[in-house]
Structure formats: structure tokens, C-alpha cells
């Protein structure tokens, strides 16, 4: 059960989901047909010293049947392309909401003059900074770390960090929305909308809206968080309270929205569609990577 003011670090609560995502990116990087190369991901996983995540990196066969693993390369590539496409249109400020251990600021070949803002909870970003400093990592864009709770007044912190609300931006909310309470979720959309000049881009992942929370919970705990990724119940981390449908809301607010299913992404990136058990295939078909242009 989520509570309103709770906090977390990389080893607890929602923070662990950032570590899990990094583990999947590290595993994708190890594949002979890898779609991405994220060597930073392995640094983060190693530094967290959590055997649930370090063991699969030493022996990827431990998690090769995890369905989500088949999708991470697709999702990461989708967001990589999204940011580079936005940059190609002249955008020079990118905001990664709920950045976790996303290392795009270091990985991508950004054009000169790009500033990337990474927003997440203070303790998550502290861990990230520590690991990156330890490895003497060098960014490929101007990087601004904004340690702030996305359930609060984050636009003020973002603008203080140098975000220019009078200039178009590229925004991502990758693997974030389901971890926000309904009210913060809806406010996030309103705030992105208010801060987005015409020409702005937004990309986000969604899980099915209106899905029966109990069915969703059963699927998630069965497939996403069973051993060897730990015994914790991920359903305790997500919010299933009422919220707007983001694609619908954005369309009503003058954004042009396009949604991609996992199968469509597989076809775009030339991978066989993930082979999923029936109950998960239905869920996966309704989960999307969405891009919206203003």
C-alpha cells in the first residue's frame, strides 16, 4: 500500500524499480544482438550490491524467461530515438522525469548546446551521482540534476535549475506514471502542458488504464518480481487510483498523440515480437510507448 508522503532510496520502495530497469538495460547490452549499449547500467547494478540484481548479470540465464527483459531493448531504443528526433528539430532542452538510473545524458550523441535535466528523488540521484563520479563518467550534454519529488511543486525546482519555459522542450516519463498517485499523475500532465511551448515533444510509457487492479496486480507479481528479482510485491509500489487517460487528455489539449504497442516496436526495430504467456500478451498489447507533439 502506497502512502502520500513516503520517500525511498535506490535500495527501497520505488527506488528498486530504477535498479531493476538498469539491470534489464545491462542484460540487453550483453545480448549478441543488443539494440542498445548501456555500460553505465552495469556500474549502477554492481554498486548497489544487491544479489537479486548482480546475480542475473553474472548469469543472464537466470532471467531469460522474464518477459519484461524482451521488451527493455525496444523501450530504451524508442526513447533514445525520441530524444534524438526532438533534438534534430532544434530542441535544446530535454527533461527526464523519474530519471532513475537512466544514463542517456552520457550515452547519446547529443547535438552541441543540449541541456538535459534529470528529475528524481534526492536519495536516488545521490546514489547515481556517487557511482558516476566514482567511474569518472563524462556527459555528452550539459547536465542538470533536479532532486525533487514529482508529487510536489517540481516546476519551480526545474526552472531554478535553468529550464526555460519560453522555449520548446523534449520530455520523457519512462516507467514513471504508474508510480504516481492519481492526483500527482494528473497534475504532472497539466504542468508539462503549461511548460511546453509549441514544438515541444513528450514521450511516456503507459500500462492499461481501466485494467482490473487485482488482475494487474496478479500479473505483475507473477511475472515482474518473482525470484531471482526478489520476493517483494511490486504491486505495493504502483498506484491504481483514478486518473485521466494521458493520451486522451493530451489529445484534448492540442497535442498530436501516437501510441506504439510492443509488437509495433518489435517490427520497427527488427526484432521478433516478444513471446508472452496469454495473460501477459493481452496486457502487453495495451501497454504502450507513446509520443506526443505539440
Ligand X SMILES: C[S@@+](CC[C@H](N)C(=O)[O-])C[C@H]1O[C@@H](n2cnc3c(N)ncnc32)[C@H](O)[C@@H]1O
Closest approach of ligand X to the CB of residue 232, in Å:
14
Shortest distance (Å) from residue 198 CB to ligand X? 26
What's the closest the beta carbon of residue 167 comes to ligand X, in angstroms? 23
User: To the nearest whole angstrom, how small is the minimum distance from the Cβ of residue 254 to ligand X?
Assistant: 26
Q: Which residue is nearest to ligand X (CB)?
A: 100
CA nearest to 144, candidates 164, 161, 125? 161
Between 159 and 256, CB nearer to ligand X:
159
CB of 245 to ligand X, least distance (A): 19
Instruction: Specify the residue, 93 or 120, whose C-beta has the smaller distance to ligand X.
Output: 120
The Cα–Cα gap between 186 and 183 comes to 5
Q: Which is nearer to ligand X, 98 or 168 (CB)?
A: 98
Residue 185, classed as helix, strand or coil, is helix
Phi, psi dihedrals of residue 194, rounded to the nearest 5°? -65, -30
Angle in degrees, CA 168, 173, 103, rounded to 5: 90
Query: Contacts for 260-263 with beta carbons within 8 Å, 24 or more apart?
Result: 260/78, 260/288, 260/289, 260/290, 260/291, 261/285, 261/286, 261/287, 261/288, 262/71, 262/74, 262/287
In the bound state with ligand X, the residue whose beta carbon lies nearer, of 24 and 255, is 24
CB of 213 to ligand X, least distance (A): 18
Residue 20 CB, shortest distance to ligand X, in Å, is 7
**Comparison of 199 and 206: residue with beta carbon closer to ligand X:** 206
Strand partners for 256: 293
Helix axes 39-48, 122-134, angle to 10 degrees: 110
Nearer Cβ to ligand X, position 92 or 128? 128
Name every residue whose Cβ is closer than 8 Å to that of residue 262 and which is 6 or more positions away in sequence: 71, 74, 273, 274, 284, 285, 287
Question: 100 vs 274, which CB is nearer to ligand X?
Answer: 100
Positions in the binding site for ligand X (CB under 6 A): 14-15, 17-18, 21, 98-102, 120-121, 124, 149-151, 174-176, 179-180
Q: How far apart are CA 6 and CA 224, in angstroms?
A: 22
Q: Which residues contact 163 (CB under 8 A, 6 or more apart)?
A: 93, 95, 117, 144, 169, 195
Report the candidate in 74, 77, 56, 78 with the shortest Cα–Cα distance to residue 65.
Answer: 56
Amino acid at each position: 500500500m502506497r502512502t502520500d508522503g513516503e520517500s525511498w532510496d535506490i535500495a527501497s520502495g520505488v527506488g528498486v524499480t530504477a535498479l531493476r530497469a538498469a539491470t534489464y538495460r545491462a542484460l540487453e547490452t550483453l545480448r549478441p544482438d543488443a539494440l542498445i549499449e548501456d555500460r553505465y547500467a552495469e556500474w549502477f547494478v554492481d554498486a548497489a550490491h544487491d544479489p537479486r540484481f548482480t546475480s542475473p548479470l553474472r548469469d543472464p540465464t537466470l532471467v531469460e524467461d522474464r518477459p519484461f527483459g524482451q521488451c527493455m531493448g525496444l523501450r530504451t531504443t524508442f526513447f533514445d530515438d525520441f530524444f534524438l528526433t526532438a533534438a534534430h528539430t532544434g530542441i535544446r532542452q530535454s527533461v527526464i522525469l523519474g530519471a532513475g538510473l537512466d544514463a542517456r545524458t552520457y550515452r547519446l550523441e547529443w547535438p552541441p548546446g543540449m541541456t538535459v535535466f534529470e528529475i528524481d528523488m534526492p536519495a536516488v540521484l545521490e546514489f547515481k551521482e556517487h557511482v558516476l563520479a566514482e567511474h569518472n563518467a563524462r556527459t555528452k550534454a550539459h547536465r542538470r540534476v533536479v532532486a525533487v519529488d514529482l508529487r510536489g511543486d517540481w516546476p519551480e525546482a526545474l526552472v531554478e535549475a535553468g529550464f526555460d519555459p519560453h522555449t520548446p522542450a523534449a520530455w520523457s516519463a519512462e516507467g514513471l506514471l504508474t508510480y504516481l498517485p492519481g492526483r500527482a499523475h494528473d497534475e504532472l500532465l497539466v504542468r508539462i502542458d503549461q511548460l511546453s511551448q509549441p514544438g515541444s515533444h513528450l514521450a511516456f510509457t503507459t500500462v492499461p488504464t481501466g485494467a482490473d487492479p487485482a488482475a494487474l496486480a496478479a500479473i505483475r507479481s507473477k511475472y515482474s518480481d518473482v525470484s531471482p528479482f526478489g520476493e517483494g510485491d511490486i504491486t505495493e509500489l504502483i498506484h491504481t487510483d483514478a486518473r485521466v487517460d494521458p493520451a486522451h487528455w493530451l489529445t484534448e489539449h492540442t497535442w498530436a498523440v501516437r501510441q506504439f504497442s510492443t509488437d509495433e516496436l518489435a517490427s520497427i526495430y527488427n526484432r521478433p515480437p516478444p513471446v508472452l504467456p496469454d495473460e501477459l500478451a493481452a496486457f502487453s498489447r495495451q501497454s504502450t510507448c507513446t509520443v506526443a507533439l505539440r
